[in-house]
Amino acid sequence: PIWSDTSLFVSYIFNDVNLFNIETDADEDIWDYEGHTITSGIEAAIIHDTRDNTFDPTSGSVNSLSVFYAGIGGDEYYVKAVAESNWYFPVVWKLVFHPRLEVGYIYPLTGKDLPIYARFFAGGLNSLRGFKPSSVGPKDPDTGEYLGGNKELLVNLELIFPLFEDIKMKGVVFFDTGNVWGEDEEWNFGDLRYSIGAGIRWVSPLGPIRVEWGYNLEPRDDENQAEWNFSVGTSF
């Protein structure tokens, strides 16, 4: 920690991605990265954490800012910044209100399109529940492939309540909203996606277990009305 409750992390990241056996009708953004692509860069992250418990917080907050610079050799040159804020407010009858905000932006440093694997995708357990993983945001109108974007906004509002306190099992109801936008798009808050849902969380001997059901409030033709999500070992 650099001071009380605050930590700074700096790391070097090296990725060698090899794309092969690409479908003939895949989007051009994917074909552009056929073969090996090397990403080399430095990531710095600062985290301020005042939660009373890492896996089952009832008060406090955890706020972070990370910046990744890709451009120390390699083939890719961009800056990726992500800010995330989680707060936990005890209310009444052991209820906990948990608002979460995540904002991300990727700035290309050359005229090249960003590689697919570096872009933001939304949908799934830790972003927009009620949607399939990585299914929210720009997609190819011809192939239906999800392309991701360089801008993201996610807002999650949760109300957490005890179910069986002796075994650390809790229930949750939630409201999620957000979207991802491509490099040729502006931030458009009129195009946000919305979902609601409920779930069960258990701090088990094996770690946190989550089972959650999300309901898409405005499903499109190629989307399901609802999705189930399950995870072991991670908390939101």
Residue holding tokens 């946190």?
208
Q: How far apart are the first and last CA of the chain?
A: 22
Which tokens in the block code for residue 150?
A: 């360089």
Quote the CA–CA distance of 203 and 149 in Å, as a whole number.
Answer: 34
Quote the CA–CA distance of 80 and 149 in Å, as a whole number.
Answer: 12
pTM of the model: 0.91
Phi, psi of 191 (to 5 degrees): -115, 25
pLDDT (average), residues 98-119: 93
What is the sign of the dihedral through the CA atoms of 149, 225, 100 and 50?
Answer: negative
Which tokens in the block code for residue 222?
A: 């190629």
Q: Which CATH architecture has domain 6-232?
A: Beta Barrel (2.40)
pLDDT (average), residues 49-65: 95
Q: Tell me the per-residue pLDDT of 121-167, one tens digit each, with 9 for 90 and over.
A: 999 999 999 999 999 999 988 888 899 999 999 999 999 999 999 99
Q: What pLDDT was estimated at residue 25?
A: 66
Q: What pLDDT was estimated at residue 2?
A: 74
pLDDT above 90 (res 85): yes
Phi, psi of 235 (to 5 degrees): -115, 160
Q: Tell me the per-residue pLDDT of 6-28, one tens digit each, with 9 for 90 and over.
A: 999 999 999 988 776 767 666 66
Longest dimension (CA), the chain: 58
